[in-house]
Structure 1
Amino acid sequence: MAGTAQLALRGTHENGKLPVSDDIAHGTLGLSAAAPVLDISSLTLEFPIFKGVVKALNGVNLQVHQGEIVGLVGESGSGKSVTAMAILRLLQQDAFRVKAGSITVLGREVFALREPELLAMRGRDVAMIFQEPMTALNPTRKVGRQLVDVIRRHQSVSSAKALEQAERLLRDMYIGDPVDVLNRYPFELSGGMRQRIMIALAFSCNPSLLIADEPTTALDVTVQRQVLLLLREKARALGTAVLFITHDMAVVSQFCDRVYVMYAGSVVEQGPTASLIETPAHPYTHALLRGLPENALPRTELPAIPGHAPDLSALPEGCAFRDRCVFADEQCRQKPLLKPMPGVPKRAYACWHPRLIAGVDQGE
């Protein structure tokens, strides 16, 4: 295969999982006194439809600081990808309405940017890695041409210098023969190789913020691990803020410093990854963790969350998770607000009965 990978899985555990750093284990990375790179404040966004509106995001608050890897996790339809697209203003302009709130990147209000400012921000200040690299890369142009075009769009360098930089970027991705890969078309490369190229493209202009939207979903477990190692290594080296979007709590547990859990367009729980996984306070978080294969007994069926996610054009009264929750009662007909967890720094949840969840974890 072209450009055989030379990445050694340094520090991986014997069970094949990513190594968990002390920063992740103790939740000490990020959240500095400095202003966040990304600050989403009380964002409420909806899509008008013929029968009303789809309430895609409901009062979302989220921050990512320099050098921090933050997970945004939830089922399909929870609002993760809409959040990502809103940050870059990639949603169809006349198809949505911002009812309240704001998104600021490096202190600038995204929805107030003029088109030239927005185009300059994309790639230079904020980059994005999409789920399927085959559709993100132009199949009719060689990899080298695409890398050179991106570099020259945001940097005043010659084509020759941009090509040198492109080769160096691929070497940083542990691609053994970058010159060969630069002369290939995307369809000539494996999925893992294409995703490495997407990471190289994303970091080509040293962005302050990287949004990774399910970047490893289409890859097998071994290649997924390699890609995550590369992504984390590069982000740590450059101090890049990363918003990592996924449905997989197992990946979050090994890769992210902090995590926001989304359900039906709202953040229902947040906190340092290790703490949140050890003591989930929201029943939805608890259910996601119970569904992980490593948490199941051998030869037993994985527990599924009963019911289905609510229709975002007709959200239920009160807690959106109420109809799927075994702890729901009359109080849950009132919407719970996100509130700090007593005695646990940086944790917050939106649930009336967090002690019941804790009792399940403790076998009470």
Structure 2
Amino acid sequence: MTGTGQHAQRGAHENGKLPVSDDIAHGTLGLSAAAPVLDISSLTLEFPIFKGVVKALNGVNLQVHQGEIVGLVGESGSGKSVTAMAILRLLQQDAFRVKAGSIMVLGRDVFALREPELLAMRGRDVAMIFQEPMTALNPTRKVGRQLVDVIRRHQPVSQTKALEQAERLLRDMYIGDPVDVLNRYPFELSGGMRQRIMIALAFSCNPSLLIADEPTTALDVTVQRQVLLLLREKARALGTAVLFITHDMAVVSQFCDRVYVMYAGSVVEQGPTASLIGTPAHPYTHALLRGLPENALPHTELPAIPGHAPDLSALPEGCVFRDRCAFADEQCRQKPLLKPMPGVPERAYACWHPRLIAGVGQGE
């Protein structure tokens, strides 16, 4: 690449300024004035262990409104999947305890629901797409049987009507011969095809909230984009609220309206996608963006975040990112609260030195 080309590439991606889709960049998807579909408030959740507790979630606040796609991003072990499992109450009942806070779905407290109410909520009001479709689909049952069972579990329709609906769902996923696919077992299909079926399954009962837990991690890049476009198209058409869990900021930039960044069980930054990616305020967000291949020049080494995530059973005092942060000082021994960004109320961060981070990003 010529010097001019290198500078052009750097300019396009400086400070993690990834290209974002038009509706995200221009803010055409404003928040609904109605109550959020998902409202997590000050949630603190821990797992008792032999020598103490694992503090998996620490005062998490998160909202998803109707028709909105919200990203939840962070490294492995940051608390993303625990959050998803808690929303559906899929965590083993005697293995965790809620120290504070609540999860409200469509105005109902998830932790107060009885088992029959939970069973009705799962699939009908809230659906989930898992990371690996081969482990989510039953390998011993044909695709059609699995779709029909879910449809009839939540809707009063006949076997014939359910089968017709299943066929229509697969057509919506641009599957050319849905009848053939309905008569196949999951192991006979490719990874991309299985994930399309999982999306169809998730939307089979028109849920108000869809949780997608790293649904494209096991797919190659081309298939990943196809699956994401299908998921977004379907969610937009139905006005479904989506919580999209991922570790990939590049995917977030193209897919999500807003982003929550999690680290060690806490939300450390949140805001509209274009704004947060363009000017990250927290050093962890900044580090995630700098480590993207899209931001690297040819023949240069990608910068890695030094150190490792803290032990959740022995979290450090103060800022949980302190030991890995180049900007840490004595003030960081006190825990920073998540607070609105001055002049930008839709942005928030938990850092003592956001101006330092922004200054480094703008000056690189």
What TM-score comes out, normalization by structure 1 length? Answer: 0.94
Q: For the Cα contact (< 8 Å) 2:16–2:295, is it kept in 1?
A: no
Q: For the Cα contact (< 8 Å) 2:40–2:61, is it kept in 1?
A: yes
* Alpha-carbon distance between aligned partners in 2 of 1:76 and 1:234, rounded to the nearest angstrom: 28
Structure 1 residue 10 displacement after superposition: 27
RMSD: 6.4
The Cα offsets for residues 161-220 of structure 1, whole Å up to 9 and x where unpaired, read as 000000000000000000000000000000000000000000000000000000000000
Structure 1 residue 105 displacement after superposition: 0.2
Structure 1 residue 29 displacement after superposition: 1.9
Structure 1 residue 31 displacement after superposition: 2.1
Structure 1 residue 6 displacement after superposition: 36
Cα 1:188/1:3, change in 2 over 3 Å: farther
* Alpha-carbon distance between aligned partners in 1 of 2:182 and 2:201, rounded to the nearest angstrom: 12
Q: For the Cα contact (< 8 Å) 2:15–2:362, is it kept in 1?
A: no
2:88 — aligned with what? 88
* Alpha-carbon distance between aligned partners in 1 of 2:212 and 2:254, rounded to the nearest angstrom: 15
Structure 1 residue 63 displacement after superposition: 0.1
* Alpha-carbon distance between aligned partners in 1 of 2:5 and 2:153, rounded to the nearest angstrom: 28
SS at match of 2:5: coil
* Alpha-carbon distance between aligned partners in 2 of 1:104 and 1:7, rounded to the nearest angstrom: 48
Identify which range, 47-56 or 11-20, moves more after superposition.
11-20
Q: For the Cα contact (< 8 Å) 1:142–1:185, is it kept in 2?
A: yes
Structure 1 residue 278 displacement after superposition: 0.5
Cα 1:10/1:196, change in 2 over 3 Å: farther
Structure 1 residue 33 displacement after superposition: 1.2
Cα 1:278/1:11, change in 2 over 3 Å: closer
SS at match of 1:14: helix
The Cα offsets for residues 284-338 of structure 1, whole Å up to 9 and x where unpaired, read as 0000000011111111111000000000000001000000000000000000000
Percent identity for Structure 1 against Structure 2: 96
Cα 1:13/1:305, change in 2 over 3 Å: closer
* Alpha-carbon distance between aligned partners in 1 of 2:109 and 2:158, rounded to the nearest angstrom: 32
What TM-score comes out, normalization by structure 2 length? Answer: 0.94
SS at match of 2:16: coil
Q: For the Cα contact (< 8 Å) 1:264–1:312, is it kept in 2?
A: yes
Equivalent residue runs for 1:136-285 within 5 Å: 136-285=136-285
Identify which range, 91-100 or 343-352, moves more after superposition.
343-352
Q: For the Cα contact (< 8 Å) 1:318–1:335, is it kept in 2?
A: yes
Structure 1 residue 362 displacement after superposition: 1.6
- How many pairs are equivalent? 364
* Alpha-carbon distance between aligned partners in 2 of 1:287 and 1:6, rounded to the nearest angstrom: 21
SS at match of 1:204: coil
* Alpha-carbon distance between aligned partners in 1 of 2:7 and 2:149, rounded to the nearest angstrom: 27
Q: For the Cα contact (< 8 Å) 2:281–2:349, is it kept in 1?
A: yes
SS at match of 1:280: coil
SS at match of 1:120: helix
The Cα offsets for residues 249-299 of structure 1, whole Å up to 9 and x where unpaired, read as 000001000000000000000000000000000000000000011111111
Structure 1 residue 89 displacement after superposition: 0.1
Cα 1:15/1:325, change in 2 over 3 Å: closer
1:49 — aligned with what? 49
1:351 — aligned with what? 351
Structure 1 residue 343 displacement after superposition: 1.1
Cα 1:188/1:6, change in 2 over 3 Å: farther
* Alpha-carbon distance between aligned partners in 2 of 1:363 and 1:334, rounded to the nearest angstrom: 28
* Alpha-carbon distance between aligned partners in 1 of 2:155 and 2:13, rounded to the nearest angstrom: 40
Cα 1:269/1:17, change in 2 over 3 Å: closer
* Alpha-carbon distance between aligned partners in 2 of 1:285 and 1:261, rounded to the nearest angstrom: 7
Cα 1:15/1:54, change in 2 over 3 Å: closer
SS at match of 2:170: helix
Q: For the Cα contact (< 8 Å) 1:3–1:177, is it kept in 2?
A: no
* Alpha-carbon distance between aligned partners in 1 of 2:10 and 2:222, rounded to the nearest angstrom: 13
Cα 1:186/1:164, change in 2 over 3 Å: same
* Alpha-carbon distance between aligned partners in 1 of 2:59 and 2:6, rounded to the nearest angstrom: 45
Cα 1:349/1:10, change in 2 over 3 Å: closer
Q: For the Cα contact (< 8 Å) 2:17–2:277, is it kept in 1?
A: no
* Unaligned runs of at least 5 residues, structure 2: none
